[in-house]
Amino acid sequence: MLENKVAIITGGTRGIGLETVRTFAKNKAHVILFGSRIETVEKALDTLKQEGLMVEGYAPNLTDMEALEKLMKQIKDQYGHIDILVNNAGISANKKIENTSSEEFERIMSVNVNAMFNMTKVVVPYMKEQQNGVILNTSSMVSLYGQPSGVGYPASKFAVNGLTKSLARELGSYHIRVNAVAPGIINTDMVAALPKEMIDPLIQTIPLGRIGEPKDIANAFLYLASDMASYVTGTILSVDGAARS
């Protein structure tokens, strides 16, 4: 479904991102994954290689515009085009407001929102030049309902939806589509890090009766990245088994 497309996926070393890398590569895209540390990038590349999937990877600092601009030029020079950007890197929070420092709040906004802005800003000039492109963002079901603690996380995901809907309007005339997927509770390290007493009761309320798997989200990204979604932009696609946080 993505033959000859060049796709950059942030947070591609594990969880939802790694499964999206795998799914895009199996669908014949040239995938470049980004992670926060070179060791985890290399580990992910090794895993994929053992599965017969050749992928490239880097660990740029997503807040360093100069480094991002340089890397994007390098990728463009190497492949000739940049077709798909998946802004998936993210961190979560679950502490009550009185136990959350302003630095912790800033950190979550920096990774979940500012990095998404930075990546998008450096890729858009190439997509505008091509008059074509797809930008996909990882939101969350908490972007619709909020959550009872860890306010920085839903605040950041409401911002992700704002970026998605606004940029879809700004970039539509350049044939650049911008969409987000809003996962429910997905079986990754991020959820494993949350207290069991917080997650278990939530899983029991999911109408589809199970936790989501990274593959469920990767398949949604595959659809949105492909020409099957050629008239879909500005959408926040819920993939959550009808869970309500």
- Can you give the binding site for ligand NAD, defined by CB under 6 A? 10-17, 35-36, 40, 62, 88-92, 111, 138, 140, 183, 185-186, 188-191
Q: Of 58, 145, 153, 231, which one is the catalytic site residue? A: 153
CB nearer to ligand NAD: give 140 or 164: 140
CB of 193 to ligand NAD, least distance (A): 7
C-alpha dihedral over 12, 17, 18, 22, to 10 degrees? -110
**How near is the Cβ of 185 to ligand NAD at its closest, in Å?**
5
Give the single-character DSSP code of 178: E
Query: By C-beta, is 127 or 185 nearer to ligand NAD?
Result: 185
Residue 103 CA to residue 214 CA, distance in Å, equals: 30
Provide DSSP, 116-133.
HHHHHHHHHHHHHHHT-E
- The residue among 133 and 152 lying less far from ligand NAD, judged by its C-beta, is 152
The residues facing 181 across adjacent strands are: 138, 237
Smallest gap from Cβ 189 to ligand NAD, in A, equals 4
Identify whether 153 is a catalytic site residue.
Answer: yes
Closest by Cα among 42, 46, 74 to 57: 42
Enzyme catalytic residues = 153
